[in-house]
Structure 1
Amino acid sequence: MIPINIWLVEDDASYRRNLRMSLELEKHISVSCVFPSCIEFFEALKTEDAPDIVLMDLGLPGMSGLEAIRKLAQVAPDIAVMVLTVFKDKGKVLEALDAGAAGYLLKESDGPEIVKGLQEVLVGGSALSPAVAKIVVEQLRKPAPTEEFNLSGREIEVLEKLAEGLAVKEIADVLNISVGTTGFHLTNIYKKLHVQSQTGAVAKALRSGII
C-alpha cells in the first residue's frame, strides 16, 4: 500500500477522535494533524508540510467546508480533498464536486469504505458514497452545450474507462500502461477540461459529447 498522510478537519470531537483511531489502525495511513475548524487548518498549512489528502467535513464553524475547498483549490491545488459529511442533499454534493472535491463520502460509511476511498483519491481517482453517486449520475443525464477540447486519443480512452467506473489501476491494466502514465493522462485531462476531479471530468466529457 502507498503511504497516505491525512489531515482531518472535523468539529465533532468524539467523531474526530474515533475516526483518527480507526484510520491509524491501517499501517499505511497517518493522520498527522486534526483541526476543529478550517481557520486552524489554513494557519497550519502555512508552516507544516502539506498532507496528501484532506478529509473535510462541510458543516464547520467560521468557514464552511465548501468555502475551504474553493480556497484550497486556489492556494494549494495539488492537495486532494475528500468530503466526509452527513449532508447528502443534491445542492451540497454538486457544490462540493464543482468546487474541486475529489471524493464525497457520507459519515455512515464504515472504516473500510473510507480507507478504500482514500486510496482511490491518492492515485487520482474519485470516491463517492452510493447515494452520492446516484445524484451524480442523474446530473450527468442533463444536456450541456458542446465545447471543443483538444484531447488526445489516449486521453479519450482514459475518460471512457473512467465513465465505466474503472479505478485508476484498472484503467492502467486495461490500456496496458503504467499507473503513473494513467495519472499523467488524468492530469492533462483535468487541465484541458478545466475540472479538478474524476467526477467533474466524466461529467463534462459526457455533457460535451466527447464520450
Structure 2
Amino acid sequence: MTRQPDAPRHVVTSTADADTVVRRLSRDGWSVQEGFALTDAAFDVSTERLVLHGRISDPDTLQLAVLAAARGAGVVAVCDTDSPMGRALVDDLSRLGAVQLGAGPGTPAPAAADDNGTGVVPLVPEQQALLDRLAAGDTIAAAAAAEFLSLRTANRRIAEARALFGVRTTREAVLAYLRQRGTGG
C-alpha cells in the first residue's frame, strides 16, 4: 500500500485567508467540503484527498475538526490563534503533524511561544522526546515504545522533524536538534 502524504492542516484568522488556502488546495487536486463533519463510514479517509474547512466557534466544532484531521482529512480552520480555543486547536492539530499558520504556503506553527525570529525550529513535544531518546542512543522502536507511540507514528514524527530541520537523515536531525538545544553537535 502506497503511503499517502500527510493531509494539509491550516489555521488561519480570516475567511479571506481560508479562501486563499482552499483555492490553492483545490488546484492541487484536493476535494473541498465546508464544515468538519465526516459522513464517510470508513475511519481512514486519507486516500480521498479531502479538505474540510470552516470557522471554529465552539468546542464541539473544534473537536470535529481535530477528529477529521485524525481520520486523514485536510483541515483549513478559521480561528483566532491567540484565543484559548485557537491555542487548543493548534496544540491538538500539532499532535497529528505539522500545522501551517496563515495563508502562506510554508508558515509552520510554533510548538511554543519561542518562535520569534530566533531561528529555533519549532518541534512538537513528541518530536522533542523522540529526538532526546535517539540522542541518548535508543533505537526508533525503543524510543517509540518509551513514549507510548506506535512505530509508524514515531517514524512520521521523526520524518517531520527531518523536514523541519531541512536534513535527509535521522542522524542529521538528531545532530541539528542537539545544536539547537545547545548541548552538542
Q: Same fold (TM over 0.5)?
A: no
TM-score range, shorter chain: 0.3 to 0.5
Greater fraction of residues in helix: 1
TM-score (norm 2): 0.43
